[in-house]
Structure 1
Amino acid sequence: MNPPNLHLRPATMADAPAIWQIFQQAIAQRKRDGSKQWQNNYPNESTVREDIEKGYCFVLTENKQVVAVAAVIFEPEPAYDKIDGAWLTHGDYAVVHRLALADAVKGRGMAAKLFQLIEPLCVNRGFYSIKIDTYFDNAPMLHLLKKLGYAYCGEVFFNGAVCKAFEKVLKKVS
């Protein structure tokens, strides 16, 4: 259960500076971890603006402050058409890309809380599957996906890199 002061909402252009700051923190963290993920000018400020304009960008707020961000995309990801492995489902699905937390909230379970709000958002829009990918060396995300019940499905090629691909089938609410 999520505290009442946590809310998931679509991002607005007014959120762009806070979102970009969170991405800069995440980019720096990935670099400190020795990862190549997000070290090639992606995501960038244009990515943030485009995600907001397309309605992909969602922010998690705590006491009205943006503390996390994710792109939740309700259309197919072309990179997922070819997988070295097999997806659990073959129908419509939502995609989560570009998930990041503010440094100030790390270690408080905010990433799990973000997913706990994204999943019902997907179900409410008629999407009963979420697909996501991450780098092989993104230990925090790999741990989170396992903890939240996302199944490893294989490898996909996304944004110039081979990534681990995961899927979770969501329950329909009656």
Structure 2
Amino acid sequence: MALSYITEAQVADLAAIMHIINDAKAFLKASGSSQWQEGYPDEATILSDIKEHAGFILKTDGQIAAYAAITGQDPNYAVIDGAWANVADPYAAIHRIAIGSAFRGQHLAGQFLNQLIALGLSRGIKNFRVDTGKANAAMQHLALSHGFQLRGIIKVTSDSIDPSRLAYELNLPAE
């Protein structure tokens, strides 16, 4: 098994990250999803993640295999058609999860998500939220297979084609 670990993304990683993001956009389009088909996430979004220390990469055998951002409170999550189970405690939103096409099928997305959650836990966060398009079966499977529960539908401002997103939440018990 190859050595895989996460690390904070750096500006020097931008070209590799954008390649992964563009791979993910093509994958989503081929699967019939309108998600990420209007430019988002773009280079400015990823640079903002990096500058805010929110962008993370998964390295596998020294290569950047995946990208994601861990952010704080997301204004898109303020209104939900459904209900969040935990509205009292802070949460981390995990966004822009993307795996490079050369690394698909290696179960790295699950490893990456596990490590992102572990990073959140190391920062005292026990509640996590993700969202995805209705046609993004891969992300839906990833969320459900990692204990996230479907809580309802939110609307995102970055997609004028179909702003509806399935919203998932993971609440880990206090120790």
Question: TM-score interval w.r.t. the shorter chain?
Answer: over 0.9
Q: Is the counterpart of residue 47 in structure 1 residue 45 in structure 2?
A: yes
- For normalisation by structure 2, the TM-score amounts to 0.93
Partner in structure 2 of residue 115 of structure 1: 113
Shift of 1:79: 0.9
- Which of 67, 71, 82 lines up with 1:85 in the alignment? 82
Q: 2:164 corresponds to which letter in structure 1?
A: V
Q: Take 1:111 and 1:89, find their aligned partners in 2: how far apart are those partners?
A: 25
Give the superposition deviation at 1:96. 0.5
Between the aligned partners of 1:165 and 1:150, the Cα distance in structure 2 is 9
Give how far 1:115 is off: 0.8
| Residue ranges of structure 2 left out of the alignment (5+ in a row) | none
**Contact 2:148-2:169 within 8 A present in 1 as well:** yes
- Give 2:168's match in structure 1, choosing from 166, 169, 173: 166
Q: Report how far residue 4 of structure 1 moved.
A: 7.1
Residues 113-153 of structure 1: CA distance to partner in whole angstroms, max 9, x if unpaired?
A: 00110111111101100001000000111111111111000
**Distance (Å, rounded) in 1 between the aligned partners of 2:174 and 2:119:** 12
Q: 2:95 aligns with which of 94, 97, 103?
A: 97
Q: In percent, how many aligned pairs have the same letter? A: 33
The Cα RMSD (Å) is 1.2
Q: Are 2:154 and 1:156 equivalent residues in the alignment? A: yes
CA distance in 2, matches of 1:4, 1:105: 12
Number of residue-to-residue matches in the alignment: 170
Change (3 A) 1:17 1:154: same
Cα pair 2:2 2:61 within 8 Å, conserved: no
TM-score of the pair, normalised by structure 1: 0.94
Higher relative contact order (CA 8 A, sep 6+): 2
Q: Does structure 2 conserve the Cα–Cα contact (< 8 Å) formed by 1:123 and 1:170?
A: no
